[in-house]
Amino acid sequence: MQLPLRRFFIICLLLIVLAIANSCKKKSNPAPAPVATLKGNAPFYMGSAVTSNGIQSNYFYQGTLLTEYNSLTADYEMKFDITEPQPGTFNYAPGDYIVNFAAQHHFRMHGHNFIWHQALPDWVLNFSGDSLAWENLFKTHIETEAAHYKGKVASWDVVNEAIRDDDGSLRNKDVNPGDGSIWRRHLGPDYIARAFQYAHEADPGALLFYNDYGQEWGGAKLDSMIALVTGLKNRGIPISGIGMQMHIDINIDTAGITRAFKRLAATGLKVHISELDISVNPGNDPNIVFTSVLQLKQAALYQFIAETYRKTVPVAQQYGITTWEFCDADSWIPVFFKRKDWPLPFDAHYQKKPAYFGLLKGIGGKE
């Protein structure tokens, strides 16, 4: 072979070897597949209740929120006892922290709440005045807080848990200590409609919700809720939606969930799953172990809820799914019921549980 030809062959050989080496390198070091997230897969907003303290003090907490969610609800910072601790003295610092964090990171902010029979300061519980004085207290609180957050909060739970569990009547006098409503007692049954009107006048751009629990039980409580919101809507009261808290447990009859979604959807209002968590220890067993059987049962239920919500509530009415906190370490359930429990999609170390993957699958995502 002549010299130039030999050189040509050697160069070709080298190029082939280089190409093969390069393709092997690509195969052994592929680009990482994108990790699925809740907000990246859901066709609606994915939210969580949050505390200002959690966001401020815990990088795992903040990091998980930023990665997975796009809607926030304040756990307690925007309720009456915090925002108006003394008559006419408003304290927005804890709520502002969450609202500003939401704005900075492009979350939707859902306000929770103006009027509830719990989380009230002593001055309200001890207030004595005629019906005009009560109306003024009630109106001032709603209007002042709504005006403060105008343009920063997309939606509000205007009235929370106004209906009794047993017969579906409005909470009024205490049946058990603390379960009556001072609002109904002092303002009459139409206080709910007026709360919506006051909120709307102060912030006409905000969507307004009635929020409660127990829709999945059916019966009198569900009937009353439907009658209440339909009545408000038909009277032209500015109500946009209904919040279905869904503090449920793994033994729930799933038919009740499907029925509730269908009946709420039929009102034409938006439906927000507003406080979802799934207890695995409703029997208060002090020796309970969170076995893989329980974990999978909980995951299947998270999946069922998200899937059924997607299929039974029309797209335009899907306001989203919000869990009540997202990590087991921050759930209200172990504290409130003084028991072990693991109700949320992330474990106490902010790791994804089977419940997370159930929820992800239910919203239509792939792992």
Catalytic residues: 161, 275
Grouping H, G, I as helix, E, B as strand and the rest as coil, residue 155 is strand
H or E stretch including 262? helix 254-265
The DSSP letter of residue 266 is: T
Cβ-contact 304, 275 below 8 angstroms: no
Q: How far is the CB of 264 from ligand G3I (least distance, A)?
A: 17
Task: Give the integer Cα–Cα distance in Å for 366 and 100.
Answer: 32
Q: Which two tokens stand for residue 168?
A: 């579906």
Is residue 330 close enough to count as binding ligand G3I by CB under 6 A? no
Select the residue interacting with ligand G3I from 76, 217, 350, 357 (CB under 6 A): 76
Residues 219-278 that bind ligand G3I (CB under 6 A): 245, 275
- Which residue number is nearest to ligand G3I in terms of Cβ? 332
Among residues 241 and 354, whose Cβ is nearest to ligand G3I? 241
Neighbours of 59 (CB within 10 A): 9
Q: Which two tokens stand for residue 366?
A: 């792939």
From the list 74-82, 126-134, 278-286, 296-304, the region that binds ligand G3I by CB under 6 A is 74-82
From the list 4-12, 75-83, 146-154, 216-224, the region that binds ligand G3I by CB under 6 A is 75-83
Q: How far is the CB of 282 from ligand G3I (least distance, A)?
A: 15
Cβ-contact 363, 321 below 8 angstroms: yes
Among residues 68 and 75, whose Cβ is nearest to ligand G3I? 75
Q: What is the CA radius of gyration of the chain?
A: 26
**For the window 124-163, what string marks contact with ligand G3I as x by the rule CB under 6 A?**
------------------------------------x---
Is residue 332 close enough to count as binding ligand G3I by CB under 6 A? yes
Cβ-contact 171, 162 below 8 angstroms: yes
Cβ-contact 215, 221 below 8 angstroms: yes
Among residues 81 and 143, whose Cβ is nearest to ligand G3I? 81
Chain positions contacting ligand G3I, by CB under 6 A: 75-76, 79, 81-82, 119, 160, 245, 275, 332
